[in-house]
Structure 1
Amino acid sequence: MADRRTFNVVILGVGFLFIFTAFTTCGNVEQTVVKSLENTTFSGSGYHSLGIIYGVFSFSNLLAPTVVTVIGPKLTMFLSGLLYSGYIAAFIYPSTWSFYLTSVLIGIGAAMLWTAQGHFLVENSDASTINRNTGMFWALLQCSMLFGNLYIYFDWNGRTEIPDSSRRTIFLSLLVASAVGTLCFLALRGIGHEGETLAEEEEEEEEEGQSLLSTRVTYKRRANAAMQDTKSEFKTILRLLKTKTVLLLSPCMAYSGLELSFYTGVYGTCLGATAHFGGAAKGLIGISGIVVGVGEIVGGGLFGLLCKNNRFRRTSVVFLGMVVHFVAFYLIFLNIPGDAPVVLETATQTNPYLTPSVSIALLCSFLLGLGDSCFNTQLYSILGRIYAEQSTPAFAIFKFIQSVCAAVAFFYSGSLLLMWQLLLMVILGFAGTLCFFVVERMQNISGDLQEY
């Protein structure tokens, strides 16, 4: 049984690896692709598409647990994978209506996918294997930032324009990757209660002569139970939103949404739109995505290990994340033209304060990934510590605030100059770090009082 559960976790990670190789690469390049479209009837915006995705995702989280309970995590993830594949396919022969329709659908699919993933991972773990399984899944997921972006680098390096033929080839490849990841979910094997497999349970039900009507009644009961659980969880979320701890952590959660939108969609677009990089500009989008992924992997592994051994406090890691991000923002301000996110053409000729440097640009990519891992790992850590008995609603609040802020950021990214976007992140990042310090101090004082 342990081997079956390990098999499931590995297949789960491989499925996410393929799906997010496609989606992460797509999000990194889509604004650049949209700007280079030769189809004059297309009027979509990559920023607006990503904003719709995160906006729909944030609200769909409220209904996703019900869907997972009723139809099961395996089927939920398979259907969600189909929605991801549909979004990728929309870029092969793009039209404005299909572009935005699939943006809505993938937002719904993302909520179901991540809810089902959490349910399935816990279902296939116990107290002794949860850390190992989470680590395995996280490592496979983060590798998704490497392969697709590497393909972008080799295909786009030296190009100044993205022709339709190249676009179709890239997104056909990404569609295949997404489809492979979706099919992986069909290979997941059921785990029954008390050590029984799902097949054994079904065989017992057949022996007992269970009728189709009885099965329908069972699903109806599941649906009713799921609705009751959803109502109860929603009430808990509303109650937690009023607590001092969640209110204080909200600026930090909101900041994680702003910087998420920046490193996943805006920064790569800025690099591709900087004419000073010449023929390397478009290829830099891919390399930047890879370096961001390296920063995420290094930060997640390093700080997870150090904090586990109590060598660093959460506040130290968050402070380091703030400093790392602020250094990156300052270098980006000096190195990248201010109109790079908003230029309508494929490249901007504006001169920044420094002569644009590829080395500085990639250093900033690494710092963005490293800083993001600092904030996210410690937010998960402190929420898991404070709300150990209410982890599901607490993490739902985190993802809701993060996704809403990411959606807002994507919508203003296409009309706000780079310097103002950076300034907003600096202000919110500083406020979020201070609030995180206050919450950590409150928990330390509370712990000291309990000792007495």
Structure 2
Amino acid sequence: MSSEAHVEKSGVPVGTTIDHDSEKAVPPYDTPQENAGWLYRERRIGPITFPYYASPISQLLIVAFVCFLCPGMFNALSGLGGAGQLDATVSDDSTVALYSTFATVAFFSGTICNKVGIKATLSFGGFGYALYSASFLAYNHTKNRGFVIFAGALLGVCAGLLWCAQGTIMMSYPAEKVKGRYISIFWIIFNLGAVIGSLVPLIDNLKNKGDNVGDGTYIGFLILMAAGAVLALFLLDSNKIIRKDGSKVISVQHPSWKSEIVGLWEVLLSEPWILLLFPMFFSSNYFYSYQFNAYNLARFTTRTRSLNSLLYWLSQIIGALFMGFALDYSRVSRITRARVGLGFVLVVTLAIWGGGYAFQKDYTRANADKLHKIDWVDSNYGGPLFLYMCYGLYDAIWQTYVYWIMGALSNNARKLAIYAGFYKGIQSAGSAVTFRLDSLKVPYINMFGSTWGLLLASIVCAAPVVFMKIREHIPATEDLKFSDETDSVEKFEQRD
């Protein structure tokens, strides 16, 4: 069995492939410009030079646009509150089913992705999103609650596979010094999907102040999500990807069923401190139920919810752009960036959610339906809109920081796949819990309090990892211990 490793500062040339059977080192690839294939040729149109198709950035862009069309549109639909329905109960029940299957599948998604391939995994994921939108289109006419819940459960399976492939590529393709930028670029394009997706219900509901969203909204989402499933088929296998300097990107090798379970246990046994990040994982989507249903759905008219959703996801682009590039600021050490970043996250958590409490204390679940629904023509609309945009900004800041921390802990593709599985699985469990609480009609102030308290507590729990485990660089020989490649690397170094 052969495995590939992009080895830096270990005595092995960058891009070297280690063959476990022969213990011989294969020289790196030539630079892409020296490869004759069209996959490795840059394209120039006028003053613009486009990266070659087999470059890491090109592949990241394809994955980003798949997420633009699938989960991006899903976020636009969810951001309406109740997935566009006035009664959020059926949406909540479907979302609970979604995140329950998501949380289960995510832990084993690496193995499934390795067996069926990245293309098929992403394409199947896109199908799940399209079916989800179709289920609400059908619900508008048939009130078939069971179909919506089934579609949610199937989407959880599809999303678990899609996000594992996305997370592993996003964290393992870039070099250490640009991981924040790759995360930022992905998050911007992904959320741009939600921004553009929000235009669909906004245009469809310009004159709709108090009803469910129209069929045109769901049809529009259905078409766009199906396009994302097709786009996924244009992704290349990771063993064809070459960086511009000629080094091969780490092949995204996920473990077998047996080694998946062993690998999960191995990470927990050798790195028990990773448990301190679990509260941060759990809370990373926990606030969606409150923001979408207890805030946007409860307090605004249908058309205003559509506008709010658009501006929410637009704010995410701003947050991701700022946080991603700030975390890669080369004039400050990575250790300092990690610590200052955690402090910044703490400050914005106190500020934004403190402002949220000032608004939340004035209404309850019991009286929300009796209060005037805020419309964009109302004089008091500015403050609540600004708060909702801050919620979007906060989401991007939180997600970007968590991804960056995971990427700073390792460069090993297999380990990052397990981290991604932990992250998405535990994140989905948190979402299932909070949407179930909303389905059970838990008071809004209780949902707000649990969200804010969990966010603050998770920052405290993560502090020891940030202050003690983040280093300037992860040596390759140390990082490869997890993948059983260390012996081969050390023998090569001794011969050399």
Give TM-score scaled by structure 2 length.
Answer: 0.70
Partner residue of 1:171 out of 218, 224, 231:
218
Do 1:249 and 1:436's aligned partners in 2 also have CA atoms closer than 8 Å? yes
Q: Letter of the aligned partner of 1:359 in structure 2?
A: G
Do 1:58 and 1:403's aligned partners in 2 also have CA atoms closer than 8 Å? yes
Relative distance call for 1:120 and 1:176 in structure 2 (3 A) is same
Do 1:51 and 1:407's aligned partners in 2 also have CA atoms closer than 8 Å? yes
Partner residue of 2:319 out of 296, 299, 308:
299
Match in the other structure for 1:52: 97
127-136 or 295-304: which moved more?
Answer: 127-136
Match in the other structure for 1:418: 444
Pairing 1:140-289 to 2, within 5 Å after superposition:
140-162=189-211, 167-190=214-237, 192-193=239-240, 226-239=256-269, 243=272, 245-272=273-300, 281-289=301-309
Displacement of 1:141: 0.5
Separation (CA, whole Å) in 1 of partners of 2:274 and 2:241: 37
Do 1:44 and 1:99's aligned partners in 2 also have CA atoms closer than 8 Å? no
Do 1:65 and 1:112's aligned partners in 2 also have CA atoms closer than 8 Å? yes
Separation (CA, whole Å) in 2 of partners of 1:126 and 1:251: 28
Q: Percent identity?
A: 17
Do 2:204 and 2:214's aligned partners in 1 also have CA atoms closer than 8 Å? no
Match in the other structure for 1:339: 365
Tell whether 2:188 aligns with 1:139: yes
Tell whether 2:369 aligns with 1:363: no
Cα RMSD after superposing both structures: 3.4
Match in the other structure for 1:395: 420
Separation (CA, whole Å) in 1 of partners of 2:128 and 2:284: 26
Partner residue of 1:349 out of 361, 371, 394:
371
More helix by share: 1
435-444 or 375-384: which moved more?
Answer: 435-444
Relative distance call for 1:24 and 1:136 in structure 2 (3 A) is same
Separation (CA, whole Å) in 2 of partners of 1:407 and 1:240: 29
Q: Secondary structure at the match of 2:370?
A: coil
Displacement of 1:256: 2.2
Q: Letter of the aligned partner of 2:314 in structure 1?
A: V
Q: Secondary structure at the match of 1:45?
A: helix
Q: Secondary structure at the match of 2:80?
A: helix
Displacement of 1:264: 4.6
Do 1:321 and 1:374's aligned partners in 2 also have CA atoms closer than 8 Å? no
Structure 1, unmatched stretches of 5+, are 37-42, 196-221, 273-280, 448-452
Displacement of 1:287: 1.8
Separation (CA, whole Å) in 2 of partners of 1:256 and 1:374: 10
Separation (CA, whole Å) in 2 of partners of 1:8 and 1:17: 14
Separation (CA, whole Å) in 1 of partners of 2:327 and 2:123: 35
Do 1:89 and 1:175's aligned partners in 2 also have CA atoms closer than 8 Å? yes
Deviation per CA, 1:95-130: give whole Å up to 9, x if none.
111111111100000011112224555787667886
Give TM-score scaled by structure 1 length.
Answer: 0.77
Tell whether 2:428 aligns with 1:377: no
Do 1:124 and 1:191's aligned partners in 2 also have CA atoms closer than 8 Å? no
Match in the other structure for 2:23: none
Match in the other structure for 2:77: 26
Report how many residues are paired: 395
Relative distance call for 1:129 and 1:260 in structure 2 (3 A) is same
Q: Letter of the aligned partner of 2:422 in structure 1?
A: I
Displacement of 1:172: 0.7
Separation (CA, whole Å) in 2 of partners of 1:113 and 1:329: 33
Separation (CA, whole Å) in 2 of partners of 1:85 and 1:49: 15
Separation (CA, whole Å) in 1 of partners of 2:165 and 2:241: 21
Q: Letter of the aligned partner of 1:53 in structure 2?
A: L
